[in-house]
Amino acid sequence: MLMDGLEARPVRPVHGAHPDSPALPMPPTVIDLRRTEDARDVVHRAVQALAEGRCVGFPTETDYCVAGSLRHRATVEALLAHAPDRSGEPRLALALKGADESFDWVPGLSPVGRRLTRRCWPGPVVALVEGNHPDSLVHQLLPAARDAVTGNGQLRLRVPGHSMLADCMRMLAGPIALLEPLTAGQAPVSAEDLLACPAPNLSLVLDDGRTRYAQAATAVAIEANSVRVVRPGIVSEETIRRLSSLMVLFVCTGNTCRSPMAEAQFRLMVADRLGCRPDEVESRGVVIASAGLSAWGGGKASPGALEAMAEVGADLSGHESQPVTENLVRQADVILTMTASHRAGVLAQFPEAGGRVSMLSPDRQDVLDPIGAPLPTYRRCAEQIRGHLASRIDTLVDSIPRP
């Protein structure tokens, strides 16, 4: 039947039961998102249902989940009654609007946790994090809700990548819990699978066909300075390791002198600290890059920079300049600029990176620009950069993820 332009269908009653039997709950309305003319109407229906304490089935990129408001005790109890046992983990996941919201629930989230969630969310990664921080919003939940989303001192956080749930959460004031049901040990990857799972009485199911990945999300435990996969899924352990790496980006003007020299010398210093070769640094959890605010792609390092770096054991012969891009800035954990004007230029283009951009010099002194100058000037510039890096190396190395 058509309802306000939406394709909706009731679920067939259980075989062998009379449809008018009072023992049977009302079947949920199933809305086919692929045949919906106006998604806004679907969002409003789902938001209203959740606000009233009813349960709604949502697609994600990996599986279908059942969402319910943590403001309603009866809803929480209904979700818990059907939640699978996950070996000491919280039985319900807490759905977040985005990675930034995680700080409200985990104020003490470690640097490795911050960068992993920033790079993975929204997406198919479930994060198991500290659940007992005294400043966490979890302490403002109803006791039943708090117990439902915490377990073994942890919270299970998700930011699903499907737009429908994200759109609904933007319109909801209260927190939402996700029941991730299992049938025969498998997560439901279609609306039909979800309806076949043990689940609370659903008011509404949003059908978007088979999920994009049709595999479980990867669950990772984020600890003080490490990340480990506790339940394999669509994102491989190698990818999780790469996404949790520390990325340091050095920025100058043309990416041919100062920032390449900073990149090369920092790689040498990190390799020395980690006891590995410079070309092994990335496999040890550190990604080092450089870029220029006015750089052209593919330019070579200046002759002076090449020679000055060769004298300290670094090779810039393969360097290719690149401009500062949105993707580089988004991925970088630490952005170190050669001058105050470089820092201002980065912030003017990417204000959201404000907390990650600093001048290389802790004393906010501009690094000498050697472009066009003789080799001794390059040497002085390299020495200046090396001194600034030495003052930062301890802090940066401490945030490298440990195996």
| Alpha helices (H) in 179-322, listed in sequence order | 191-196, 237-243, 258-274, 303-310
Distances (CA, A) of 203 to 52, 56, 62, 193: 11, 6, 22, 16
For strands 357-359 and 334-337, give the pairing: parallel
How far is Cα 375 from Cα 303, in angstroms, rounded to an integer?
9
Longest dimension (CA), the chain: 92
**Three-state secondary structure string covering 188-203:** CCCHHHHHHCCCCCEE
For strands 227-231 and 218-222, give the pairing: antiparallel
Nearest to 326 by CA among 226, 224, 249: 249
In this structure, how many other beta carbons lie within 10 angstroms of the beta carbon of residue 213? 17
Active site residues: 252, 258, 369
How far is Cα 302 from Cα 282, in angstroms, rounded to an integer?
25
Using CB atoms within 10 Å of the CB of residue 84, give its burial: 0 to 12 exposed, 13 to 18 middle, 19+ buried: middle
In sequence order, the 6+-apart residues with CB closer than 8 A to the CB of 358 are 334, 335, 336, 337, 343
User: Helix (H, G, I), strand (E, B), or coil: what is residue 3?
Assistant: strand
